[in-house]
Amino acid sequence: MPSAPAPLSHRPPRRVLILAAAPAQLLDIAGPAEVLAQAGRLAEGPTGDAALYEVALHIVAEPGASATTAGLPLGSTVTAEDLGAWGPFDTLIVAGGQGARRRCDEDAVRDLTLALAARARRVVGVCTGAFILAAAGCLAGRRVTTHWRWCRELARRHPDLAVDPEPIYLHERGVWTSAGITAGIDLTLALVEADYGHALALAVARELVMFLRRPGGQRQFSSLLTAQTDLPARLADLVAWMGENLHRPLRVEDLAARAGLSPRQFARAFRAETGETPARLLERLRVEAARRMLESGAGVAAVAGRCGFQADETLRRAFLRHVGVPPGDYRDRFRIRPASLIHPTEKVLHA
């Protein structure tokens, strides 16, 4: 018979380095570090802390600058000389912040990142840490994400990248990138799940009082918020009203009248301001509302009616266009289970 796998508490810890360029976003460092530490505490065996991860921090200092954008002092736990002696290790996490965006092309930052990435099993960019990884050539030819505010700038500097402003995090060919700040926590939970399974990742999420461990494909922010950004007040108010009345037919003629324009004027102005037709935005708003309802466990027929789809099949076709899976499959995968329905043994992971 094959031998049983070693308890987590008996396995060697995975070495993780968090690399940052001062001034760094404090939560880009603290968030992933806390997730990894909690994973060890929650998986501890009879002998104590499982120490699933051995986390080190190196900040490339800048004379006269604080280590963090919050102005709080933070010191490296390993020196550049120490890192030079490192052999292969598990995970390189590159934090974001002002330093990542402004200093990514400095030789000291770029060369160290490239040398460390070559020795890491996987490479992770949190928020604008993607700027450092891109400058070092670690993201070449990949689909990546970063904080929504900086996606255009990353794409401008590195036209070989496919920069997607929507996902919370992305994983492609051994490289992970995340959206802004707190999305680094979601990404690190996904790393824990990849390393040690769903139960431990879920236990960490509950311990950190995270309402929902968001799937990587979830948008950084809602279609409603995106559509309202930088719109004239008249159209912004209309888009907000659309979001509150998705159950109605919402014909173009009715929307135009509400905006005080003729249907032709309205269609032309709407496309000029939003980059898409009213019908396209309306469908995106409805699909997004349907996703939220499905995550709460609602039935497909009820969702279709509440979100303004004429029939279940209409919802299905729209869902496939925007999400890539049927609504029923999405609900089964991402439905939020009440904490009372999660079996207590999901937190006993060392046996």
Q: What's the pLDDT score for residue 218?
A: 53
pLDDT 10s per residue in the chain (351 long)?
444 344 555 678 999 999 999 999 999 999 999 999 999 999 875 545 568 999 999 999 999 989 999 999 999 999 999 999 999 999 999 999 999 999 999 999 999 999 999 999 999 999 999 999 999 999 999 999 999 889 999 999 999 999 998 888 999 999 999 998 888 999 999 999 999 998 898 889 888 877 444 555 555 545 555 555 556 777 888 888 988 899 999 999 999 999 989 999 999 998 888 888 999 989 988 998 898 888 788 999 999 999 999 999 999 999 888 888 889 988 887 775 544 333 333 333 333
Percentage of residues of the chain with pLDDT beyond 90: 60
Q: What's the pLDDT score for residue 343?
A: 38
| Runs of H (alpha helix) within 85-207 | 98-103, 107-117, 129-135, 151-157, 183-196, 198-207
Q: What's the pLDDT score for residue 288?
A: 86
What domains are defined for the chain? Answer: 8-207 (3.40.50.880), 223-334 (1.10.10.60)
Structure-token match 């461990």, residue found: 213
**Is the bond into 2 cis (omega within 30 degrees of 0)?**
no
Q: What's the pLDDT score for residue 160?
A: 95
Q: What's the pLDDT score for residue 36?
A: 96
Side chain identity at 12, as an amino acid letter? P
Write out pLDDT tens, residues 138-148.
999 999 999 98
Q: What's the pLDDT score for residue 331?
A: 85
How does DSSP classify residue 44? -
Q: Are 210 and 185 in contact (CB under 8 A)?
A: yes
Closest of 148, 34, 162, 29 to residue 96, by C-alpha: 29
Q: What's the pLDDT score for residue 180?
A: 84
Instruction: Please give the structure tokens belonging to residue 250.
Output: 């919402």
Q: Are 95 and 17 in contact (CB under 8 A)?
A: no
Closest of 135, 149, 145, 143 to residue 107, by C-alpha: 135
Q: Rounded to two decimals, what is the model's pTM? A: 0.67
Phi first, then psi: give them for residue 176, nearest 5 degrees.
-115, 140
